[in-house]
DNA sequence: CCGGCTACTTGATGTACATCAAGTGAATCC
DNA sequence: GGATTCACTTGATGTACATCAAGTAGCCGG
């Protein structure tokens, strides 16, 4: 059930992406790379994009690929801390993350905030807005980011013409439903150590699918945001990191995490017995 | 954020369904009505279905409606306790519930079960299967039920021809994503009383949208299933019911619940303060 | 370089809920 | 119709995590 957490490749239905040092560097580099301005002459085009294996269906012919190039209306940059969209905003477009890292969170009437997910390059944001034509959560950049803006009408038009794209859109939404099922399991049934192990493994796998190391990662979010996502307090997150560190499973240096014993982490994630 | 829990009409984007005594009776009747066999001559047809306002988009012309009549390949009955589908089954079709009540649940490797939702008439099941072409959870009937079988290929074909249907399918999936966001908030942030209040209010609203009373309901699931869904143990569910009962908020007689003070229930749901 | 801030860590104490255990009451089955 | 079972209730006790509190470390602006 938590396959999604246990095998990113299957869950995300991705081909293995070859290691791309330029991208890989971004994760280990403390500062986000300064995004060079896109010259007006250089048209935004999915067919050229090195992330297309993450965003787009595989098996498109060149004709269809050309049609798809029109899907992205424009790109948009969001500064760290900035909102890509906010709860209540009119929904008109989906977004594909090109660079950067986001969180989505819902806020209850009485002000409690719940982080519902963390999103990285190649992932699609905004699906929550479809049902009521307005966004249902806040999407906030955790580092300087750039997204592809895909007007939803346009996505739907193209979906009607390209069945492979139609299926792809459905899969993306279904994947999100299945992911959230996994999170529900995590929140309802797991103890703190299992939750944090699951969280780390999930991040590692998704980063690995993007060409990053399997044994190292930089957390883009605070302990509090991790805690919100995992249903625990920031102190407990901190203590659990310390515990893992004492047990020689990981090495924690601020937001830099090095995985020393991947198997033990998996064992904790699977363990119901203490 | 928990608007979904607080206002079923908005969340489900439904027109008010007029009270239908025949259906309403089903909720208060302990035994499910014996389903009369459909004569071969009586073709399954969405256009005749009294639940179409729940399943289908509004604003279809008669032409489109006729096309849609082909969407449901057949109907299928499921006995109480029976599986509509199981985790791992090949995914080929979606299901629309005609009568009865279901739960969906995921099971982790170590056997822990997590109820991810309860579904009632007019709701669509099976969306979890799209992403990987196999089902990702178990769908189990909590009472004798009948569903409309809608081959997904067929749904996609029709979606390409009928934009209103396409949008509708997208909304249904988005609604599920938003619902699960609400459950995440509930599991991560709320205390037992708030959870149960939210659960009851949500059930009441969905039942109300189907013509049932706002002040009475029959729980189709056990305390344990409620507990699993809400991330608490059955004893805690039971105690919380007793507490509500002592406080004069509800009257509990087995699975029959009568709401005595709807406002107080809402207040508990909203309260962060104790 | 210093002062203040934010993010994090670590310890002491409290508590909501889980767990364990022993009922009760309605439904089912020979 | 009495025995069995299952779902539920209620009480006593335990515990994982929250809360409260007091630090420390890295970072930013001046």
Q: How far apart are CA A182 and CA B187, in angstroms?
A: 13
Question: Can you tell me whether residue B53 is helix, strand or coil?
Answer: helix
Q: Which candidate in A109, A168, A184 is best for mutational testing of the B interface (most B CBs within 10 A)? A: A184
Q: Is the pLDDT of residue B185 over 80?
A: yes
Chain B residues 67 to 126 with C-beta below 7 Å from nucleic strand D? none
Give the pLDDT of residue A42: 56
Task: State mean pLDDT over B216-243.
Answer: 97
| Chain B residues lying within 8 Å of A175, measured CB to CB | 131
| Strands of the sheet with A124-125, listed across from one edge | A74-78, A145-151, A93-99, A124-125
CB proximity A274 to B under 8 Å = no
Q: How far apart are CA B238 and CA B6, in angstroms?
A: 23
The answer to whether A108 contacts B2, with C-beta atoms less than 8 Å apart, is yes
Domain residues of chain B, as ranges?
46-176, 190-270
Give the pLDDT of residue B111: 82
Q: How far apart are CA B253 and CA A74, in angstroms?
A: 59
Chain A residues 31-90 within an 8 A CB cutoff of chain B: 87
Q: What is the pLDDT of residues B83-135, one digit of tens each?
A: 999 999 999 999 999 999 999 999 988 888 999 999 999 999 999 999 999 99
A40 φ, ψ (degrees, to nearest 5): -55, -35
| Chain B residues lying within 8 Å of A159, measured CB to CB | 159-160, 166
The answer to whether B132 contacts A163, with C-beta atoms less than 8 Å apart, is no
CB proximity A202 to B under 8 Å = no
Which residues have CB under 7 A from strand C? A 219, 222-224, 234-235, 237-239, 241-242, 252, 254-255; B 191-193, 227, 231-233, 235-236, 254
Question: Is 3.40.720.10 the CATH number for B190-270?
Answer: no
Note whether A46-176 and A190-270 share their fold.
no
SS (H, E, C) chain A: CCHHHHCHHHHHCCCCCCCCHHHHHHHHCCCCCCCCCCCCCCCCCHHHCCCHHHHCCCCCCHHHHHHHCCCCCEEEEECCCCEEECCCCECCEEEEEEECEEEEEEECCCCCEEEEEEEECCCEECHHHCCCCECCCEEEECCCEEEEEEEHHHHHHHHHHCHHHHHHHHHHHHHHHHHHHHHHHHHHHCCHHHHHHHHHHHHHHHHHHCCCCCCEEECCCCHHHHHHHHCCCHHHHHHHHHHHHHCCCEEEECCEEEECCHHHHHHHHHCCCC
Q: How confident is the model at residue B42 (pLDDT cuts 50, 70, 90)?
A: low
Q: How far apart are CA A238 and CA A224, in angstroms?
A: 9
Question: How many C-beta atoms surround the C-beta of residue B2 within 10 A?
Answer: 25
Q: How confident is the model at residue A271 (pLDDT cuts 50, 70, 90)?
A: confident
Task: State mean pLDDT over A208-220.
Answer: 95
Give the pLDDT of residue B112: 86
Task: State mean pLDDT over A258-267.
Answer: 96
In CATH terms, the superfamily for domain A46-176 is Jelly Rolls (2.60.120.10)
Q: Which candidate in B115, B171, B187 is best for mutational testing of the A interface (most A CBs within 10 A)? A: B187
Q: Is the pLDDT of residue A2 over 70?
A: no
Average pLDDT over chain A, rounded to an integer: 86
CA distances (Å), origin B225, targets A74, B103, B142, B168, B230 = 47, 9, 10, 30, 9
Locate A17 and state its tokens: 């992406």
Q: How far apart are CA B93 and CA B105, in angstroms?
A: 18
Residues 6+ apart with CB under 8 A from A129: A85, A89, A91, A135, A136, B174
Q: Is the pLDDT of residue B5 over 80?
A: no
Q: Quick one: what percent of chain B has pLDDT higher than 90?
A: 72
CB proximity B178 to A under 8 Å = yes
Q: What is the pLDDT of residues A16-72, one digit of tens each?
A: 443 343 444 445 443 333 344 444 445 678 888 889 889 999 888 989 998 888 899
CB proximity A127 to B under 8 Å = yes
Give the pLDDT of residue B36: 41
Q: Is the pLDDT of residue B266 over 90?
A: yes
Give the pLDDT of residue A5: 41
pTM given for the model: 0.88
The separation, in Å, between residue A246 CA and nucleotide D27 C1' comes to 27
Q: Comparing C-alpha atoms, which of A234, A232, A214 is closest to residue A223?
A: A234
């Amino acid at each position: 059930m938590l396959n999604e957490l246990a095998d990113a490749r299957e869950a995300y239905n991705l081909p293995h992406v070859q290691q791309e040092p330029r991208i890989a560097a971004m994760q280990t580099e403390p500062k986000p790379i300064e995004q060079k301005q896109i010259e007006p002459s250089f048209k935004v085009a999915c067919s050229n994009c090195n992330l297309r294996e993450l965003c787009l269906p595989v098996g498109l012919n060149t004709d269809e690929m050309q049609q798809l190039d029109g899907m992205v209306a424009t790109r948009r940059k969001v500064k760290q801390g900035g909102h890509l969209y906010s709860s209540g905003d009119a929904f008109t477009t989906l977004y594909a993350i090109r660079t950067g890292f986001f969180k989505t969170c819902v806020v209850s009437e009485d002000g409690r905030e719940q982080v519902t997910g963390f999103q990285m390059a190649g992932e699609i944001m905004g699906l929550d807005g479809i049902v009521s034509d307005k966004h249902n959560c806040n999407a906030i950049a955790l580092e300087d980011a750039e997204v592809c803006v895909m007007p939803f009408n346009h996505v739907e038009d193209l979906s009607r013409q390209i069945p492979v794209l139609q299926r792809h859109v459905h899969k993306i939404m279904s994947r999100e439903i299945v992911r959230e099922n996994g999170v529900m399991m995590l929140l309802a049934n797991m103890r703190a150590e299992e939750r944090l192990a699951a969280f780390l493994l999930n991040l590692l796998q998704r980063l690995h699918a993007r060409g990053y190391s399997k044994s190292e990662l930089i957390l883009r979010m605070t302990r509090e945001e991790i805690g919100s996502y995992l249903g625990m307090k920031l102190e407990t997150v901190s203590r659990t990191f310390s515990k893992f560190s004492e047990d020689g499973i990981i090495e924690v240096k601020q937001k830099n995490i090095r995985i020393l014993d991947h198997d033990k982490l998996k064992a904790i994630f699977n363990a119901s017995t203490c």
